[in-house]
Structure 1
Amino acid sequence: MQLQTGQNGEEFRCSAGEVVVYPSTCLHCVSPVTEGTRYACVGWIESYVKSAEDRALLFSLDAGARGLLAKHGRSDELDLMFQAYSNAVRRLSN
């Protein structure tokens, strides 16, 4: 499978049992099957947060806080960050 992501293309060659999940905004094409059988399951996942920009912001906030937690352990300041993240998710959810 090939996905067009922005200016770049990426190719995926999955092993048996693996799956590729990608946004519906990405163009894709599949290569011919040369060995084995391809099975496809088409579905949709809807986010609680409608805006891609808001989802990216929430992802960055969460990833940064989790990174700090792993590196330095729990703190009152990190608790505030996780609280802010949870409040932002509630506010930005549809």
Structure 2
Amino acid sequence: MMVHIPRVLGPQQVAECRQLLLQAHWVDGKGTAGHQAITVKDNLQLPDDSGEAKAVGQVILQALERNPLFISAALPQSILPPRFNCYQGGQAYGAHVDNAIIANQGQRMRTDLSATLFLTEPQEYDGGELLVDDTYGAHSVKLAAGDMILYPSTSLHRVNPVTRGARISAFFWIQSMVRDDAERSLLFQLDNSVQQLNRELGNGHASCAQLTGVYHNLLRRWAEV
């Protein structure tokens, strides 16, 4: 399941975050690549201990806590602090799958979902599309600044070469309370349907209450907390 989450950050937040990031010291992204990815990764990245990365990452995490679409789609158990990359001058990232387990402050975290939050507008650069493969082929993603795409970490994905300008993004991983993507997708669809019925019929309607109970009973069955 891929989910487009619009306006995670507003225009003013994007501008402030970009100003911070442009002041930062960027390094070769290969330094954080795994065994498979190191041969296909060509970009710049902020060190994890960068003050600018920590500050902007905190802004993003706080925004996600207030975003009901993200909560519904991801059902987050834990979120890895956002990292930041930049592609320019023909840089790209070849086809790869993200590591299944990533260390986070001494704790191991399972990567169920991957997220890319765009911080540059599509017209500011050429190329740089995120291509995510699934059963139906490759999906091309190039979103407005402040928008985010959420997709299964099991997906083969890549970033096309940036041939003009620079593409700056945040990227991070989520361990969900529901590790199975099919189960998580069903819960997301059911949650959306319940919310739509609540708007149409009212929160006190018996059918809404019944379906809400079904949602929570399925979540109770599938969640790992």
Same fold (TM over 0.5): yes
SS at match of 1:21: strand
The CA deviation at 1:6 is 1.4
* TM, length-normalised to structure 1: 0.77
Question: Which residue of structure 2 aligns with residue 59 of structure 1?
Answer: 188
**Structure 2: which 5+ runs fail to align?**
1-129
The CA deviation at 1:19 is 3.4
The CA deviation at 1:36 is 2.2
Instruction: Select the residue among 211, 214, 222 that pairs with 1:81.
Output: 211
The structure where strand makes up a greater share of residues is 2
When residues 58 and 17 of structure 1 are mapped into structure 2, their CA distance, relative to the original with a 3 A threshold, is: closer
Instruction: Give the whole-Å Cα distance in 1 for the aligned partners of 2:185 and 2:168.
Output: 31
When residues 20 and 36 of structure 1 are mapped into structure 2, their CA distance, relative to the original with a 3 A threshold, is: farther
Cα deviation per residue 1:40-93 (whole Å; 9 max; x = unaligned)?
444210110122222122122212212222222230221121123123212311
Paired letter, 1:24: S
Pair 1:4 & 2:4 matched: no
Question: Which residue of structure 2 aligns with residue 92 of structure 1?
Answer: 222
The CA deviation at 1:14 is 2.7
Paired letter, 1:23: P
The number of residues matched between the two structures is: 94
* TM, length-normalised to structure 2: 0.37
Instruction: Give the whole-Å Cα distance in 1 for the aligned partners of 2:169 and 2:178.
Output: 27
Pair 1:69 & 2:204 matched: no
* Alignment check: 8 A CA contact 2:133 2:139 kept: yes
When residues 84 and 20 of structure 1 are mapped into structure 2, their CA distance, relative to the original with a 3 A threshold, is: closer
Superposition RMSD on alpha carbons, in Å? Answer: 2.0
Question: Which residue of structure 1 aligns with residue 9 of structure 2?
Answer: none
Cα deviation per residue 1:2-39 (whole Å; 9 max; x = unaligned)?
11121222112233344333211221121111232223
Structure 1 segments of 4 or more deviating over 6 A?
Answer: none
Question: Which residue of structure 2 aligns with residue 34 of structure 1?
Answer: 163
